[in-house]
Every structure is written in C-alpha cells, then in structure tokens.
Amino acid sequence: MRITGGRVRGRRLATFRGLEIRPTSDLVREAIFNLLGRQSLLGMRVLDLFAGTGSLGIEALSRGADHAVFVDCSRKAIEIIKKNLRLCDLQDLGVTLRKDLTEGLPGHHPLFAGRYDLVFLDPPYGRGLILPLLNEMERENRFGAASLVVAQTEKSTEVPQATGNLRIAKVKTYGATRITLLEKEEDI
C-alpha cells in the first residue's frame, strides 16, 4: 500500500496482517481523491473515522491538509497509524485517538475539538453507522462552512440523500466498494 499523490507520493505504508481491517486499496484511495476533483486540501482539518492504517488521512496530509485526527477502536490500528505518520514524516500533523465509534463520537475530548473540513467515514460494512455519526457531527457543530464527507460502503448500500445540511454530490462504485461524496450546504 502506497501514498498515491502529494509530497510523499510513492511512500509505502505499514499495514495489518490478517483480516482485522479492510484497508482502502491504492486504486480506491486514488479514486476518492479524484472524486474530490481540483478541491484544494490546503489548510483543511481532516477527520479520519474508523481510520485503520490511516491511509486516507495520511493521503490528505500528503496532498496539503494542515492537520488530521485519526480515530479507531483498535490499539493495533493506532500503533500502525503512528508508525505510518512517522514513515511519511507527518507525525507533527496528525494525532490519534482510540475510541469505539459504535458508541458515538469522542465528544468533548481535547484532541477531537473544533470543526473539520474533510471527513472520511469507512465503518465496518452492514452496521448502519454512517447516518448516526453524521447526525451526531451535525448536532455537535463539527462541520466547517464547506465541509466534505467521503463515506465508504459496500456497493449495495446507499447513503441517505439528505442528512442535515449535507447533500450527496457524487457517487461512484469501484468493485465491491461504493464511494459517496457529501457536501455541506450553506446553513439556512
């Protein structure tokens, strides 16, 4: 698994052995950033939920994001993310937080403070976790003025058309994976 773009393009990332997680392939990760189009990541604050190896958030940092928070419930995942940040010399731009997101967001944890411009959601398939987490983020005012959310699901699962001020902008399927890009609309 390698970083597909930006300043550390080509850097190889550490990954898990076994079936504990479902890392986003290089092809799908590159497709995600192509879906974001010419959107500049400069200055963005990134939130990578169910981060696994951290590849999505690290890719965003490589492409110019200012800061990333990586959240996963696995101690092993947190260790891999920290290792990958060091391998890419991005450890000063990312922080990790161990939290079981099936129980909700980290709430008022100091590492989780603020609003996010780009959110990656790649939960375990078939558990219905995307909508509750998006609603909770909306209630806690965690989205910036023009936030983007990239949700990964299995190809047979659809993300709801409207979630608060988020609207679906693009949907693409790559093999068994469906990528849904949501954009925040202006507050009414």
Domains and CATH numbers, the chain: 27-155+166-184 (3.40.50.150)
Q: Which positions of the chain have pLDDT values less than 70? A: 18-23, 38-39, 162, 186-188
Q: pTM for this one?
A: 0.92
98's tokens: 């161990």
Predicted confidence (pLDDT) per residue in 10-46, tens digit = 899 988 775 456 667 777 888 888 888 766 799 999 9
The pLDDT assigned to 32 comes to 87
Report the distance separating Cα 107 and Cα 112, nearest Å: 7
